């Protein structure tokens, strides 16, 4: 167990916590998360405090706001390790109250409230007990961009906000100011009580440490017991802590900001990247045991995995790759690999697969082979085999447990430079029967998409937001569809032979029309299987058409599966 150095814990009111910072500041260090509170969270805080003021506060109770973990840095300032979102929001709240007081006639009550609020926000003159310089605020944020930090600091200094600004600081300050104005107008006496309640009845439990290591240890311990931080927040703190010089910590902070930017651009979370990477590490260790929680995995051996010199570069590389996969944009031009349209066809099919285990295998392949001159051609072959293996596995047994062990073994094989392989007991007749039974299952969209891509004339990508078109219309109409009865329609409507992928716009336009009418819309499609339908000579779509198309559909899939799984 790690020894905890000196720390100080005491219960403090908001007034005491903030006003005792005379000549000092709360500092939000640059490795922290940006300010994330939105108006909804601020509204919850306001309403909770307002309700408390009108109920339990009158009985002498306190309103507990949780813990604040900080350490004293070399400038004698308190660097906030946990609690920065609440502290930042309370500064905005207190400034909104002071702004309202500035606009009110200064009677004894107003003067007294201003004298209580001012030392919470600014340094005050020790003789006059007044604010001499409103730029000397008690908080400094280093985590966001200079523009955002300037906005925050300017709000506290002036009490004004740009009406067109959309950052969280500006939005939340406008919200607090609006609530202050409204409440002061409708409840002038209670408004003053509300102000006093915030200062004197809102309680925090500051844990003040003498070193950043101690603060980060407390931070990790508290959050391991369930406080709401993401796994990657813990990992960031641990990696930051492992850097033993100021220069290395600054470099890491900049790298993490870049990682956050890449993940945001790539529509994925940092937690997801760490999860993919955990399977790369498992593969290298030949580990095919049951998967554990992400935090528990990285916490083993005192977070040793996070201290390895290869971790951050490989995490960054993996994030770049998935950004490229998800958005077809390279956030970093300094790469040697390419993801071709052919690769993206099969990635699109996998994106419709009912779980994300395929991403673990692909991540391992990328880290192992990204520098290879034949990366894309090798990637295409892997993707084809992966699609065939996963789809057949799901058709046989539609549960995630059916692929877990094969996925773990595949990660091991790839890490060792061995070929990808899944264990599949092949039975063609049974597979045909099972495909037929999946016409409305969780994999039906993926099967229909794969079949569309198997068309030799499908050269480009199908839109990500495609629809499933029912060739014979899903909505029954009381007209004579060449001998169709409503009972027959109900039996054939959802069969795979009656479904096809179609651009969303054209699907809306085609609607529930008659087949002969729909063909005019089908001709506008860029999807080859749709254009094949448009070229059919008949104007009726009957049961035999559905049966014939379904037979061809299944034969095409079986042929692909056989080719990729090397089955004669």
The answer to whether residues 48 and 188 belong to one domain is yes
The answer to whether residues 16 and 141 belong to one domain is yes
CA distance 359 to 322: 9
Strand ranges inside 38-169, DSSP E? 63-72, 78-82, 139-141
The answer to whether residues 291 and 413 belong to one domain is yes
Residue 558 resides in a domain:
yes
Domain-terminating residue out of 195, 224, 253? 224
Higher pLDDT, 223 or 262: 262
The answer to whether residues 519 and 484 belong to one domain is yes
Judge whether 335 and 325 are in contact, CB under 8 Å: no
Percent of the chain residues past pLDDT 90, beyond the cut: 60
Overall average pLDDT of the 308-313 stretch? 96
Confidence of residue 502 (pLDDT cuts 50, 70, 90): very high
pLDDT(491) > 60? yes
The answer to whether residues 140 and 274 belong to one domain is no
Average pLDDT, the chain: 88
The answer to whether residues 402 and 516 belong to one domain is no
Domain-terminating residue out of 224, 248, 265? 224
Taking only the tens place, the pLDDT of each residue in 426-459 is 888 888 888 877 777 889 999 999 999 999 999 9
Percent of the chain residues past pLDDT 70, beyond the cut: 92
Taking only the tens place, the pLDDT of each residue in 47-65 is 999 999 999 988 999 999 9
Overall average pLDDT of the 326-340 stretch? 81
Task: Provide the domain limits for residue 526.
Answer: 444-564
Angle at which helix 543-564 crosses helix 444-454, to 10 degrees, equals: 80
The answer to whether residues 70 and 147 belong to one domain is yes
Q: What is the pLDDT of residue 6?
A: 63
Q: What is the CA radius of gyration of the chain?
A: 31
Residue 450, CA atoms < 13 Å, CB-side half-sphere: 31
Residue with tokens 């950052």: 167
pLDDT(255) > 80? yes
pLDDT(526) > 90? yes
Q: What is the pLDDT of residue 511?
A: 63
The domain total for the chain is 3
Residue 145 resides in a domain:
yes
Confidence of residue 259 (pLDDT cuts 50, 70, 90): very high
Q: What is the pLDDT of residue 4?
A: 47
Least confident of 171-180, 299-308, 378-387: 299-308
pLDDT(480) > 50? no
Q: What is the pLDDT of residue 213?
A: 73
The answer to whether residues 265 and 410 belong to one domain is yes
Neighbours of 190 (CB within 10 A): 15
pLDDT(355) > 70? yes
Q: Which helix (H) or strand (E) holds 202?
A: strand 202-209
Confidence of residue 32 (pLDDT cuts 50, 70, 90): confident
Overall average pLDDT of the 512-536 stretch? 89
Residue 434 resides in a domain:
no
Q: What is the pLDDT of residue 258?
A: 92
Residue 433 resides in a domain:
no
Report CA dihedral (91, 97, 99, 104) to the nearest 10 degrees: -160
pLDDT(109) > 70? yes
Residue 439 resides in a domain:
no
Overall average pLDDT of the 325-344 stretch? 85
CA distance 403 to 340: 27
Global pTM reads 0.71
Least confident of 347-356, 399-408, 428-437, 495-504: 428-437
Residue 490 resides in a domain:
yes
Q: What is the pLDDT of residue 476?
A: 53
The answer to whether residues 34 and 176 belong to one domain is yes
pLDDT(26) > 70? yes
Domain-terminating residue out of 363, 394, 425? 425
Least confident of 94-98, 318-322, 428-432, 458-462: 428-432
Residue 17, CA atoms < 13 Å, CB-side half-sphere: 32
The answer to whether residues 220 and 312 belong to one domain is no
Taking only the tens place, the pLDDT of each residue in 215-253 is 777 776 665 544 456 788 888 888 988 888 889 988 998
The pair of structure tokens assigned to 83 is: 């609690």
The answer to whether residues 13 and 68 belong to one domain is yes
């Amino acid at each position: 167990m790690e020894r905890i150095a000196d720390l100080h814990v005491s219960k403090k009111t908001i007034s005491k916590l903030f006003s005792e910072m005379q000549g000092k500041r709360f500092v939000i260090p640059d490795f922290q998360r940006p300010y994330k509170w939105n108006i909804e969270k601020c509204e919850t805080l306001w309403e909770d405090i307002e309700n408390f003021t009108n109920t339990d506060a009158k009985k002498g109770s306190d309103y507990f706001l949780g813990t604040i973990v900080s350490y004293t840095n070399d400038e004698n300032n308190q660097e906030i390790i946990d609690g920065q979102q609440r502290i930042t929001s309370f500064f905005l709240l207190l400034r909104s109250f002071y702004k309202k007081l500035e606009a009110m006639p200064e009677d004894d009550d107003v003067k007294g409230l201003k004298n209580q609020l001012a030392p919470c926000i600014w340094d005050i003159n020790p003789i006059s007990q007044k604010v001499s310089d409103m730029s000397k605020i008690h908080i400094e944020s280093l985590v966001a961009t200079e523009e955002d930090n300037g906005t925050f600091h300017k709000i506290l200094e002036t009490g004004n906000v740009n009406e067109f600004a959309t950052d969280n600081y500006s939005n939340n300050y406008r919200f607090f100011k609006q609530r202050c104005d409204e409440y002061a107008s409708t409840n002038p006496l209670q408004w003053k009580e509300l102000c006093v309640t915030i200062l004197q009845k809102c309680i925090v439990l500051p844990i003040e440490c003498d070193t950043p290591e101690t603060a980060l240890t407390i931070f990790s311990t508290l959050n391991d017991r369930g406080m709401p931080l993401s796994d990657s927040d813990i990992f960031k703190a641990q990696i930051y802590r492992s850097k033993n010089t100021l220069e290395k910590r600054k470099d890491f902070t900049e790298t993490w900001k870049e990682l956050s930017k890449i993940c945001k651009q790539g529509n994925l979370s940092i937690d997801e990247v760490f999860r993919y990477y955990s399977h790369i590490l498992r593969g290298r260790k030949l580990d095919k045991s049951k998967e554990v929680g992400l935090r528990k995995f990285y916490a083993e051996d005192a977070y040793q995995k996070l201290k390895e010199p290869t971790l951050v570069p490989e995490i960054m590389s993996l994030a770049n790759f998935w950004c490229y996969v998800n958005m077809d944009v390279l956030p970093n031009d300094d790469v040697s690999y390419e993801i071709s349209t052919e690769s993206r066809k099969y990635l699109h099919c996998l994106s419709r697969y009912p779980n994300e285990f395929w991403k673990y295998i692909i991540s391992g392949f990328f880290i192992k082979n990204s520098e290879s001159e034949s990366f894309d051609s090798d990637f295409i072959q892997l993707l084809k085999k992966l699609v065939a293996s996963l789809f057949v596995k799901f058709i046989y047994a539609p549960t995630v447990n059916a692929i877990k062990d094969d996925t773990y073994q595949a990660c091991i094989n790839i890490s060792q430079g061995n070929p990808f392989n899944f264990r599949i007991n092949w039975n063609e007749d049974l597979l045909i029967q099972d495909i037929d039974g999946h016409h409305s299952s969780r994999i039906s969209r993926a099967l229909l998409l794969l079949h569309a891509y198997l068309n030799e004339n499908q050269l480009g990508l199908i839109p990500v937001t495609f629809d499933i078109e029912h060739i014979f219309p899903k909505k029954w109409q009381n007209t004579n569809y060449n001998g169709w009865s409503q009972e027959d329609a109900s039996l054939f409507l959802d069969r795979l032979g009656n479904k096809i992928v179609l651009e969303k716009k054209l699907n809306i336009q085609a609607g529930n029309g008659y087949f002969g009418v729909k063909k005019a819309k089908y001709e506008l499609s860029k999807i080859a299987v749709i254009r094949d339908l448009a070229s059919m000579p008949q104007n009726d779509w009957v049961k035999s058409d559905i049966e014939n198309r379904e037979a061809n559909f299944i034969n095409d899939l079986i042929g692909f599966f056989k080719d990729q799984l090397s089955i004669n």
